[in-house]
Amino acid sequence: MGMEFEVTFRGDHIHVQLNAATKIDDPDLPNDYWGMLRKLCDEYDCRKILVEGIAPSSGEMDPAEVIEAGKRAATVPNLWLAFNLKNHTPNEQSELYEAVAASKGVRVKFFTDHDSAVNWLRQNG
């Protein structure tokens, strides 16, 4: 089926809304997902992205998958990436993702509410 999402430019950030049936760790994530986001960032001269959807269940991804996911975020240079994920509880996987992305120049933070995520993006980058 693949990953289904809506992407909207909101003036100061790009908003990615994953549909209710799609989870952020969907193995069918299109290969061009990050390329498409980079194109939009270039088009709107914007390096802030908010992704909203459903958090993966704890333990669904092994460390190698988390590392690869963190590296893929660097497809968009100098990115500020906020995740507002329902049912997200900070864990080793999210910390590893943040650390790997940071090592590639991407700032990532996980949130549990929309307003906090948007405020973080607006105050940074």
- What's the CA dihedral at 80, 29, 53, 42 to 10 degrees? 30
pLDDT(115) > 90: yes
- When the pLDDT of each residue in the chain is averaged and rounded to a whole number, the result is 85
pTM of the model: 0.86
Task: For residues 42-55, give the mean pLDDT.
Answer: 92
How far is 22 from 17, CA to CA, in rounded Å?
A: 10
Residue 4: strand, helix, or coil? coil
Domain locations in the chain as residue ranges: 5-123
How far is 124 from 78, CA to CA, in rounded Å?
A: 11
Are the CB atoms for 81 and 106 separated by under 8 Å? Answer: yes
Tell me the pLDDT tens digit for each residue of 72-106: 888 898 999 999 988 888 889 899 999 999 999 99
Question: Is CATH 3.30.750 correct for 5-123?
Answer: yes
